[in-house]
Amino acid sequence: MRFNIGKLGAAAALTLALGTAACTDPYNPGQRAVGGGLLGAGAGAGVAGLTGGNVGTGALIGGALGAVGGAATTPDRGDYGPNGGYGRRGHRHY
């Protein structure tokens, strides 16, 4: 017996991946890779399910591309000073 996840399962996987991917630190390349991988896997499974393709293959390809894209696009934290970017460095509020 062959298991077919179908369009509803693909939509559920995409929703779960989007929600999980939102819980990452945008400045950590490892977490961005995991978040991008989950997002890509959900998107790949969703597209494959909607177009009649193999959902597992779509999730695998989407997850790999999302992980590489997430790690490669990690922004730099920058130096925002002691106030976390608010006000000038060394500025005192009286």
Check whether 18 has a pLDDT greater than 90: no
Domain-embedded: residue 81: no
Total domains in the fold of the chain:
1
Longest dimension (CA), the chain: 74
Note whether residue 68 is domain-resident: yes
CA–CA distance, 5 with 12 (Å, rounded to integer)? 10
Residue 52 lies in a domain: yes
Q: Which domain holds residue 67?
A: 6-72
**What's the mean per-residue pLDDT of the chain?**
78
Structural domain includes residue 84: no
Kindly give, in sequence order, each residue whose CB lies less than 8 Å from that of residue 8, ignoring residues fewer than 6 positions away.
Answer: none
Q: Is residue 19 part of a domain?
A: yes
Q: What's the pLDDT at 3?
A: 56
Alpha carbon distance, N-terminus to C-terminus of the chain: 74
pLDDT of residue 49 exceeding 60: yes
* Domain annotation covers residue 42: yes
pTM more than 0.75: no
Contact 62, 42 (CB under 8 A): yes
Q: Is residue 82 part of a domain?
A: no
